[in-house]
Amino acid sequence: MPLLGEQEQQIVRDRLGNLTRDVEVVLFTDTSTIVAPGKEPCMYCKETQQLLEEIAPLSDKVHLVVYDLAAPEGKAKAEEMRVEDPPTIILREKGSDAVNIRYRGIPAGYEFASLLEDIEMIGRDGHGLPEDVVKELNELPAEVTLQVFVTPTCPYCPQAVRTAHRFAYASPKIMGEMVEAQEFPALSQKYNISGVPDTIINGGVQRVLGAQPVSAFLEAIKKAVAATA
């Protein structure tokens, strides 16, 4: 049974119909029935793959690549691209080796809009950040990781995810990752996630609660870097 109805398919066609750059969507899934020690079973691998397989044919500029962590090639690619858990989605311009715009978990509910906006950003619109913000990001002395914990029913979460992904698209110094909190309870517990969106910076050195403006994210990033200098 399709995840996207005819009306939703047409909306995606309309939104992605005038992309000017090719977008590669890289999915890491896991078809193994054996769960590694310390890991959680992949709750939505099948659904995530189905969702992306329904989106990709709706635009000739969207190209889906799937790696299975149950296969040797998938494991090797996961190590190369710094993927820890399935399902993980990495978005980038086709031909690029960037790995810093990612989703850990299915982009369902309100996060489906984030996925479409990210494809539009990479395929047409660009990050839209002020030049002074991009300059500050590029001048960071080390890479900064932003993990935005979300739930599918949170209407404010996409704003935080989009900020993290705009930063990541604007600068290779930023790793921006959406984390679906309910799919990864151990990770949520590790960072004491009690509400969403909650953005964990560099493993908890700093955090941004709520859907804050770009300036708040930038300030928290600078504080995180200063704390670990």
Q: What is the pTM of this model?
A: 0.96
pLDDT (tens digit per residue) in 131-142: 999 999 999 999
**In this model, does residue 228 exceed pLDDT 90?**
no
**In this model, does residue 35 exceed pLDDT 80?**
no
Q: Which pLDDT does position 58 carry in this prediction?
A: 98
pLDDT (tens digit per residue) in 43-89: 899 999 999 999 999 999 999 999 999 999 999 999 999 999 999 99
**In this model, does residue 191 exceed pLDDT 70?**
yes
Using DSSP's 3-state secondary structure scheme, residue 80 falls into helix
82-120 burial, b at 16+ Cβ within 10 Å, e below that, comes to ebebbbbbbbbeeeeeebbbbbbbbbbbbbbbbbbbbbb
Which residue segments constitute the domains of the chain, with CATH numbers given? 6-118 (3.40.30.10), 131-227 (3.40.30.10)
